[in-house]
Amino acid sequence: MARTIAILGGTGAEGSGLAFRMAKAGEHILIGSREAARAQEAARLLRERIGDGALIEGLDNPSAAAACDLAVLTVPFSGVVPLLKQLKSIWKPGTIVIDTTVPLAATVGGAATRVLGVWQGSAAEQTKELLPPSVSLAAAFQNLGAESLAGDEPVDCDVLVCSDDEKTKQVASELVSKIPGARPLNGGKLENARIVESLTALLIGLNMRYKVHGAGIRFTGLPLK
């Protein structure tokens, strides 16, 4: 079944990387941004890169959220609350949101290797409080780096998917599987996102110490699908 995926904050490195991978896999992508012109330019560049068949449009964030079936939240942590308050009355009932947000201290001028304490326990749990009851949420993609997403090569990373709703978890996992090399893993309930988010700060530290850009995570001993 055809669906429309909005990448909110899609002009940033993580968002544009996910938009590239999803559009390359044949999905219809709406890149959302605070400025529609900026989103349209990002969409144009991705269409040029992928080819004429790529279904990518650029809109402002509210327009993208209103038109989508599935939204991927890729704005910096400091921008999440203002954006979700703006979108509260815009979501269509039944929309699925996938939160990739990590509360890195770097978003408020601190170190990228440290996460901020979030009152709700995690960025994803904070997001859940700001979504209408008719919108379901999964947390995923936090440990998949922007540089890995931006390239054409398969990524070498497992992606933990956390949600309190099994159908939403399944949809998010199917989206992960669209990225060559990425393996979705059932990360359990949404509250487990606090563990997954903290791993991002650890991976950033590993990248810095080993002078690489694409450190990821793999879990051994699990059945391969």
Q: How many domains does the chain have?
A: 1
Query: Pairing mode, if any, of strands 56-60 and 182-186?
Result: unpaired
The whole-number average pLDDT for the span 130-138 is: 98
- Assessment of whether the complete model's pTM goes beyond 0.85: yes
Does residue 224 lie in a domain region? no
Is 80 exceeded by the pLDDT of residue 108? no
Does residue 220 lie in a domain region? no
- 104/129 Cα distance (integer angstroms): 20
Average pLDDT, the chain: 95
- Beta bridge pairs of residue 161: 186
Does residue 223 lie in a domain region? no
Which residues contact residue 48 at a Cβ distance below 8 angstroms, ignoring those fewer than 6 apart?
Answer: none
Does residue 216 lie in a domain region? no
Does residue 182 lie in a domain region? yes
Does residue 222 lie in a domain region? no
The whole-number average pLDDT for the span 15-31 is: 97
Tell me the pLDDT band of 216, cut-offs 50, 70 and 90: very high
Return the CATH number at 12. 3.40.50.720
Domain that holds residue 48: 4-210
pLDDT in tens, 152-199: 999 999 999 999 999 999 999 999 999 999 999 999 999 999 999 999
Does residue 90 lie in a domain region? yes
- 20/103 Cα distance (integer angstroms): 24
- C-alpha pair distances (Å), 36 with each of 18, 95, 127: 18, 22, 23
Does residue 215 lie in a domain region? no
Tell me the pLDDT band of 225, cut-offs 50, 70 and 90: low
